[in-house]
């Protein structure tokens, strides 16, 4: 009896174990063919970079348009901020005034540091003037663009008028020749005298209206050439605003360093008294205020923090902006990413840092190799699918957002 009971229990255990094993295998990833690569389709995505206004002011120039490719440091927009400019100029003047008072106290002390300071201040002054000239030219870009368009319209009109005048002149010449050939309808007898023989008709003079039409077209061509040259010069100046602003900042910083070296030299010599120390303190304080004002003024020249594709331009020339408002939205194209969804029972086939081959079905010769940068479940449920993000380099901008690609997990 006991033996029969044991046999029955053993049979039940076998049945239950077989059922549990079947359930476990059914809920686990397929073991067969795990060496075969996992290939999935995905859509290329790119991180968005929103470029904000660093200062309050009026938009004087928007240097990009939607669809443009930009590089890091490229000019995006230029804001005219009179308050920041006035504050920077006042701060620079305060530095110069404080330095003059200190120099007056130190008269008769020429040194290498003093010469260095003089050169640095001259370079800073030149840089400020160059930036102001470029800004003045940059302000003329919208007006000159309209002027070029008007000059082109005037040239087209003058060209049409000249063609009409030439047609009228040709028609008049043909009529004159026809009248001369018929002798005005009256037959003339020849006298037989060679001296009275009829001479060949002379070339017809250019009519005044044709001469005037030619003159107007030439004047229109010259006006268009001048306008285009002025526009090119203004656009070149506008494109240099970011570099010139950096130069102003760098030269002013160099002048501050030269002043600091000179002050340290005087202090090391142990000469001077409390009055000189007070003036040195005034110079340092003025320099700190000027450096802060220059940093704020630089924010009026908006540049791209990273390269990418201009997806959206939110402002236009003439618009008033507050600090922090969005100007453009870029899509960073290097690196880019693609995301796929994996079932819970397939997640153990991939892992972070795993290499992934990427190809483009529409272009066989374009491929790249990336790696898994992130993977996380969509919810806390054990059966929840996972989102896997693959990041890959894109130095030649071959993979644009929205492109369909194939991902092969190695």
CB 328 within 8 A of CB 77: yes
pLDDT of residue 10: 61
pLDDT of residue 327: 93
Q: What is the mean pLDDT of residues 53-62?
A: 88
Is the peptide bond between 335 and the residue preceding it cis, with omega within 30 degrees of 0? yes
Q: Nearest Cα to 207, choosing from 159, 175, 179?
A: 175
Residue ranges covered by each domain of the chain? 48-79+302-331, 82-173+208-299
Q: What is the mean pLDDT of residues 47-60?
A: 89
pLDDT, the chain, mean:
81
CB 248 within 8 A of CB 131: yes
Please give the full DSSP string across 272-317, using - where no structure is assigned: --HHHHHHHHHHHHHHHHHHHHHHHHHTTEEE-SS-EEEEEE---T
pLDDT of residue 299: 79
Taking only the tens place, the pLDDT of each residue in 275-288 is 778 888 888 898 99
Rounded Cα gap, residues 74 and 305, in angstroms: 8
pLDDT of residue 195: 47
User: How many other CB atoms are there within 10 angstroms of residue 306's CB atom?
Assistant: 15
Return the CATH number of the domain spanning residue range 48-79+302-331.
2.40.50.100
pLDDT of residue 6: 52
User: How many other CB atoms are there within 10 angstroms of residue 267's CB atom?
Assistant: 13
- Give the ranges where 28-111 is alpha helix by DSSP (H): 82-105
Q: What is the mean pLDDT of residues 254-269?
A: 79
Q: Nearest Cα to 160, choosing from 152, 170, 148?
A: 152
pLDDT band with cut points at 50, 70 and 90 for residue 185: very low
pLDDT of residue 202: 53
pLDDT band with cut points at 50, 70 and 90 for residue 190: very low
Q: In terms of pLDDT, which residue wins out, 267 or 136? A: 136
pLDDT at 192 over 50: no
pLDDT band with cut points at 50, 70 and 90 for residue 180: low
pLDDT of residue 19: 52
What b-and-e string marks burial along 30-53, b requiring 16 or more CB atoms within 10 Å of the CB? eeeeeeeeeebebebbbeebebeb
Q: In terms of pLDDT, which residue wins out, 3 or 157? A: 157
Which pTM does this prediction carry? 0.54
pLDDT band with cut points at 50, 70 and 90 for residue 203: low
pLDDT of residue 372: 94
pLDDT of residue 108: 58
pLDDT of residue 86: 84
Cα Rg, the chain, nearest whole Å: 40
Taking only the tens place, the pLDDT of each residue in 321-360 is 888 999 999 999 889 999 999 988 888 889 999 999 999 8
Q: What strand order describes the sheet that includes 69-70?
A: 48-52, 326-331, 308-313, 69-70
């Amino acid at each position: 009896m006991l033996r029969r009971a044991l046999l029955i229990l053993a049979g039940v255990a076998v049945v239950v174990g077989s059922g549990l094993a079947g359930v476990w295998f059914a809920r686990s990833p397929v073991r067969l063919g795990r060496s075969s690569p996992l290939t999935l389709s995905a859509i290329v995505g790119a991180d968005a970079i929103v470029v904000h206004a660093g200062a309050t002011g009026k938009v004087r120039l928007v240097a990009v348009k939607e669809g443009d490719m930009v590089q890091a440091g490229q000019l995006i927009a230029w804001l005219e901020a009179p308050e920041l400019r006035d504050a920077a100029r006042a701060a620079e003047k305060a530095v110069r005034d404080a330095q003059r008072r200190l120099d007056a106290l130190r008269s008769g002390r020429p040194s290498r540091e003093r010469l260095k300071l003089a050169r640095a201040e001259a370079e800073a002054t030149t840089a400020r003037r160059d930036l102001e000239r470029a800004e003045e030219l940059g302000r003329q870009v919208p007006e000159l663009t309209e002027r070029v368009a008007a000059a082109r319209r005037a040239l087209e009109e003058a060209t049409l008028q000249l063609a009409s005048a030439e047609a009228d002149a040709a028609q008049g010449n043909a009529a004159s020749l026809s009248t001369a050939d018929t002798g005005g309808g009256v037959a003339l007898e020849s006298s037989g005298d060679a001296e009275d023989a009829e001479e060949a008709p002379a070339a017809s003079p250019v009519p005044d209206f044709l001469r005037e039409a030619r003159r107007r077209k030439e004047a229109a061509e010259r006006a268009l050439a001048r306008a285009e040259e002025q526009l090119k010069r203004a656009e070149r100046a506008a494109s240099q605003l970011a570099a010139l602003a950096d130069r102003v900042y760098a030269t002013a910083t160099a002048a501050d360093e030269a002043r600091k070296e000179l002050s340290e030299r005087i202090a090391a010599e142990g000469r001077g008294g409390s009055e000189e120390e007070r003036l040195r303190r005034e110079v340092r304080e003025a320099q700190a205020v000027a450096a802060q004002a220059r940093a704020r003024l630089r924010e009026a020249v908006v540049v791209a923090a990273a390269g990418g594709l201009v997806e959206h331009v939110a402002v236009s020339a003439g618009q008033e902006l507050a600090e922090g408002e969005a100007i453009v939205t870029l899509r960073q194209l290097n690196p880019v990413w693609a995301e796929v969804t994996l079932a819970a029972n397939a997640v153990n086939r991939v892992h972070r840092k795993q290499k992934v081959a990427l190809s483009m079905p529409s272009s066989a010769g374009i491929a790249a190799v990336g790696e898994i940068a992130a993977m996380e479940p969509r919810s806390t449920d054990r059966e929840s699918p996972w989102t896997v993000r693959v990041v890959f380099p894109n130095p030649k901008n071959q993979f644009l957002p929205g492109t369909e690609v194939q991902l092969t997990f190695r």
